[in-house]
Every structure is written in C-alpha cells, then in structure tokens.
Amino acid sequence: MTARRHPGKSFFRGVEPVSGNQLRLLQGGAEFFPALIAAIDAARDEIHLETYIFNADPSAGAVRDALIGAARRGVQVRVLIDGVGSRELPAAWQAALEATGASVLVYRPLVNNWRSDPHSLRRLHRKLAVIDARVAFLGGMNIIDDFEPVRLASPRLDFSVEVRGPLLVPIHRSVRHLWRLVALTQLQGHGRNTAIEPSWPTDGHVRAAFVVRDNFAHRRDIERVYLAALALARDEIVIANAYFLPGRRFRKLLKNAAARGVPVHLLVQGHTDHPFFQSAARALYRDLLAAGVNIYEYQASELHAKVAVVDGHWATVGSSNIDPFSLLLAREANIVVDDAGFARDLRQRLQQAIGQSVALDPADWQRRPWPQRMMSWLAYGGVRLMVGLAGAGRLT
C-alpha cells in the first residue's frame, strides 16, 4: 500500500520526534538475543538493562554470561529487574552477576503476596537495554526464551527495535534517571558514574520518538499517541497486541475508522497464559466485530507483541499493551516511528501472522451463548475493579 501523509496534522501528539536515526526491527529471540549479546560483548564503558522478566533458561543464561563477561572487563553493568516478573530469578544468578561487579536492583520488591495487594500492580514493564550510549534495544522482548513458559511448536511472536541515532539521548537519559530513582528509594549507592554521552552514526534518516508511561509527567503519553494515530487514519490500521482491553475512546476511534472505510485489523492472542484476562478482552469483541473491525486470534504460537502500523508510515513497537495495567499503572516504553520502510517491514510480518490466525466471524459472536458472554463481562468487571483498587483511575 502507498503511505499517505497528513499535512498540518501530527501523528505524534504531545511528543517530539527526531530525525536521523537508524532502526532495525527484530522479531523473536532468534533475531533479538544475538544482536543484544553482540552489543554487550562489544561494550567498553556502560550497560543498562531493564526487563520485566529475567528467566532462568538457556537464552537468558547466554545474556547473563555476556553481562558477567562485560563486568569482568571493567564495564559498568546495571541490571534493573521487576519484583513480580523476575521473582523466580535464581539467587545464584543474581549473586554471580554481583560477584563480578555488576549491580542488580529489583523494582518494587515483593513484601506480601502480590496477588492480594492491588498496589503491587504498579510494575516495571519496560524492556530496554542501552550499551555504551551507542546502541539501544527496546520493545516487548523480555529476557526469556521464545518457548518459555508456554511450550508451543513455534516461537513466541514478539518484536524489539535496535536503535542508533539521536533518539539515544532521551533513551539513555531515561534509563539513567530510573536507575538513580530506584537506587535512591532503596537507599542504594548509584555506583561509579561513567559520564559518557550518546554518540551515533551520521547517516541515519528515520524520524522517530521515544515515548514512556510513568506515574509523574508522562501518565498518558503512550495512550495519546495511539489515539492521535487512530483519529487520523485514512488507509489502514493494523494492531497486534497481546492483552487488548482498551477504554471507550480507543474503541470508539476504531469503530469510527471502520465506519469511514478504513480497514481495521486487530491481531490478538489465541493461545494465552492468562485465560481470565483473555475472557475479559473477549467481552469487547462482539461490539467491535459488529462495527466492521476485523479480529484475528493468532494460533501459531503465543502472541506477546505490542505493535501497530497505521497508513503505511506510522508504526509503534514497545512494551505497552492496550489495557489498563499498561496504560494506567506500569512503567512502559515504546518507540513511535514515521517511516514507510520500517512500517512496511513490520506490516509484512504482521500480515504473515494474520495468515496463521483464525478470523473471528461477526455472526458467530452475535450468537455467542449468554453464559460465555456473562463470564466475559464478569472477568471484564474484575479487571476494572483491580485497576480501581490500585488507584489508577480509568482509561479514556
């Protein structure tokens, strides 16, 4: 499809994109882990790694070993993991990192059972790595093997982006700021300050923005850039999202786009690791399908992607799901890109995934038995209750 521009209108609501970047889209662990490990192996000064899940498996072990090797070379290694997502990281793994001089911090360590404490829903969900302030990786990829914990025949569908260019400035600033903030709240030292400045090649051409969600100055930024893109869409909307439970305004913009003739394609989980949440999301499908939104349940493997392409030139890849937990509670990080080549690459991969999916039939969902509909709405109400108890407000 031909990408069309929208003179005088911005797909980057409230954020400032920068030009001159080199971006590489990485799909799955087969592309992500070798690129990440190669960058770690080449590190000379500083490594920042943030992840929700740091699992104990061979892929994660290779990353751990690369980090240990870097620390032994004198590289300052800082690893920030989430207290819920990485709660099963073996103590021996953390000890091995710290024994070589690497620093490991746990974001919001667990005190009580996290399932019984609504405030424990405020998690570090970002997946970011910055090496020597020269290259960054961000997206949906945790430090976990593609076949863990859901063992299916095909690898998990997920994406990350390798970034080189001036976008490193806000990314590097963000990881350093969050590290200092967590260290301060836990009365930990910051470690030595390498004081390096971002640098990059001069031949990049891609325009992109780094967009975060936090509980301070950027509470709604990711949600807003999505809403702006949907409102301006003219040609096509393709969204792949693992946990899809948007607010009323988001759903209204999808339905409005379909009503004005824009093809809207939504790729969601077929296989899920959270059946309760999938049931809640399905409460919304009947209305969306009736409005002309195409919904596909991915069957080839587990879907973990959080990506979208609009009008053949706007794209986003990141850690943020389109649900209340990501958009109202967690720390998230996305990259938003205005580039036809990058968008085309991502769209082609999503079209291939749609070909491995089951298209939901609007007529079947209109006839869905009332007990199933009731269970979905009860689950939907349960999700809203949890978010409310966590004090997050509500989606627009």
Tell me which residues are annotated as active site. Answer: 125, 127, 132, 304, 306, 311
Give residue 285's Cα distance to chain centre. 22
- 225 neighbors 336 (Cβ within 8 angstroms): yes
Question: CA-based angle 66:67:71, to the nearest 5?
Answer: 120
| Cα separation, 232 vs 313, whole angstroms | 12
The percent helix, strand, coil of the chain (3-state, each to 5) is 35, 25, 35
**Closest to 51 measured CA to CA, from 132, 136, 150, 129:** 129
- The CA distances from residue 40 to 237, 281, 293, in Å, are 36, 38, 42
- 49 neighbors 78 (Cβ within 8 angstroms): yes
**Closest to 313 measured CA to CA, from 223, 211, 229:** 229
| Cα separation, 194 vs 136, whole angstroms | 17
**Closest to 167 measured CA to CA, from 356, 333, 362:** 333
Question: CA-based angle 364:366:369, to the nearest 5?
Answer: 80
The token duo for 284 is: 């919304």
| Cα separation, 119 vs 117, whole angstroms | 5
Q: How many CB atoms lie within 10 A of CB 221?
A: 23
User: Which residues make Cβ contacts (< 8 Å) with residue 150, sequence separation at least 6?
Assistant: 156, 271, 273, 301, 302
Give, as one character, the DSSP assignment of residue 165: S
| Cα separation, 273 vs 303, whole angstroms | 10
- 325 neighbors 387 (Cβ within 8 angstroms): yes
The token duo for 85 is: 């997502």
The token duo for 197 is: 């400045």
